[in-house]
Amino acid sequence: MTTDFYQHSMDVPLRGITIKSLREKRASFTEQLVASYLVMLNLGTDTIKETKQIKYIKICNFVTMTSFAASLMYTILSIVWANPLWFIAVNSLLITSVAVLYLNKIGHVNTSRLLYLLSVNSLLFIIALIVGPHTYAENFLLVAVLIPFLMYDLDHIKMILVGIILPLIYMMSYQFVEPYFAQYHLSIEHQNIMRLVGNPMEIGLAVTALFLYVFYSRQTELELESTNSQMTLHTTELKRSNADLEQFAYVISHDLKTPVRNISCFMRLLSNKHAENLDSEAKEFVEFAVSGAKRMERLIDDVLAYSRIGRNLSTPTPVNVNDVVNTIRYELECKSETSHATINITRELPIVNSVHSSLMYHIFQNLIKNGLKFNKTEHPEINISWNENTDFYTFAVNDNGIGISQKYSGQIFQMFKRLHTENEYDGTGIGLAICKKIVEHYNGHIWYESPGPDKGTTFLFTIRKF
């Protein structure tokens, strides 16, 4: 009994372990198979920027994998039935399927689909000719008519037409070409087998592909809805955050102006009232304090100007840019800032629709004054030009100043970013940031070009026409 007991007690767990191990292996194999299928199904999708196009690449991969499996099965039959020509044709289909999947893998998704449409239709036609008329193999090409609709959207109408016309031409020419292949036909028995196997398989492929098309279309719609919802939420949050920041900047700047102005006034009073009692060092300190207060006041004014862009604007109107530039030129002449400078307009500037004269004034004033300020020549020169295309005006403000290295292209339009010390060139470092914000308010873009040091700079910006 002791022996029986030990035999019984040891046997049951071992049998259970064996069964469990087999189940785990089967489950593991199934998981690996599914994982491999999903990897192949998603080949090339990571290169697609538009979400709606991903489904077409997935369906292309699925149809190609199915073609690969079918051609593998036909290859085995061609060996068993000893038909060398059929073997060559189905192997060409096998190689084409591998090539299509590889092209998708390396990101050539358009080339892969074109290769599939042209090669697979031709190879199906050749295979149908070799197999024989009793299988109705030319009907395989009816399924091929559906393929372009599953691989392309209506934006690719030329490719869809190619994918429709090509198989239809092959089908209509089948009865004329088929007699020349009679010597290569399979036996009647094998043709009947092909009819029983091939036709249901083709129908199954078509139905499955259509199901995937509907499934991925719905999935794409849900993803787009989710993405749009998230974007709307983020946009709302961003607008709220920007509004809070602008309001904060406005309030802080407005509240700071009074104490800064008081500092400047009281330091002046101190200097005027007690000038006799102040030594040269004390007077120098007073001047430093007044200068600092003035700089702070300019900073506050610029921050206020930056925060006000886009806030409480009147209705956009057409603005004559000639009037804007002439106003700036007149103001600079009155302030003696252009006594040795020249401001040229290469040709009459346009009238820009749907903008604000005050904001256009800010852009040109900042760019022109920068061109005059950052200039070591005896005769500073500013040249203003423009061109246009269907959607935008592009303005260029060129100077013969000190130039700007391209390494600062990512920084120069940032707030408070200065490339020189205050002792070298006066300024707050906000002017170009204001220009950038105004240009972007009109859905434009601003950048600069400079040949090198002391060779001048050209600032260019675009303003949408409508």
pLDDT exceeds cutoff 80 at 121: yes
Range of the domain at 69: 21-232
Q: Are residues 371 and 267 in the same domain?
A: no
Grouping H, G, I as helix, E, B as strand and the rest as coil, residue 123 is helix
Residue that terminates a domain, selected from 232, 256, 276 = 232
pLDDT above 90 for 460: yes
Average pLDDT (88-109) is 90
Residues 6+ apart with CB under 8 A from 138: 125, 128, 170, 171, 174
Mean per-residue pLDDT, 315-343: 83
298 inside domain: yes
> If you count them, how many residues does the chain have?
466
Structure tokens at 290: 């007044």
Q: Which of 232, 250, 267 is the last residue of a domain?
A: 232
Domain membership flag for residue 10: no
Assess if residue 421 is contained within a domain.
yes
Any idea what the CATH number is for the domain that residue 355 is in?
3.30.565.10
Q: Which of 443, 411, 441 is nearest to 429 (CA)?
A: 411
Q: In angstroms, how far apart are the furthest CA atoms of the chain?
A: 125
How does pLDDT run across 82-91, given as a tens digit for each residue? Answer: 888 889 988 9
Same domain, 326 and 408: yes
- The verdict on residue 8 lying in a domain is no
Q: Give the pLDDT band of residue 9 (cuts 50, 70, 90).
A: very low
SS3 345: strand
**Distance, CA of 115 to CA of 197 (rounded, Å):** 26
128 and 145 share one domain: yes
How is residue 353 written in tokens? 């629709």
Asked if residue 45 belongs to a domain, the reply is yes
The domain boundary, picked from 202, 232, 262, lies at: 232
* 251-292 pLDDT, tens digit each: 766 677 778 778 878 888 877 877 777 788 887 888 878 777
Same-domain pairing of 404 and 322: yes
Q: pLDDT value at position 2?
A: 45
For residue 7, being part of any structural domain is answered with no
* Same domain (yes/no): 56, 89: yes
Rounded CA-CA distance 62/205 in Å is: 10
428 lies in the same domain as 283: no
CB 328 within 8 A of CB 372: no
- Report pLDDT for 21: 65
Query: CA 231, CA 51: separation in Å to the nearest integer?
Result: 15
* Type of residue numbered 193: I
Q: Are residues 348 and 437 in the same domain?
A: yes
- One domain for residues 124 and 246: no
- Alpha-carbon radius of gyration of the chain: 38
* Phi, psi angles (nearest 5°) of residue 378: -70, -30
Whether the per-residue pLDDT at 324 is higher than 80: the answer is yes
pLDDT band at 424 (very low <50, low <70, confident <90, very high): low
Same domain membership, residue 184 and residue 279: no
In a domain, residue 14? The reply is: no
Higher pLDDT: 227 or 71? It is 71
The token pair that represents 193 in the structure block: 């087998």
pLDDT in tens, 195-245: 777 777 777 777 776 777 777 667 666 666 777 777 777 777 877 777 776
Residue 272 and residue 350 in one domain: no
pLDDT at position 8 over 60: no
Distances (CA, A) of 308 to 73, 301, 303: 72, 10, 9
Distance CA 174, CA 391 (A): 53
Same domain, 118 and 188: yes
Choose among 142, 141, 151, 144: nearest CA to 100.
151
> 162 with 256, same domain?
no
Count of structural domains within the chain = 3
> Does the residue 15 lie in any domain?
no
pLDDT for residue 418 is more than 90 = no
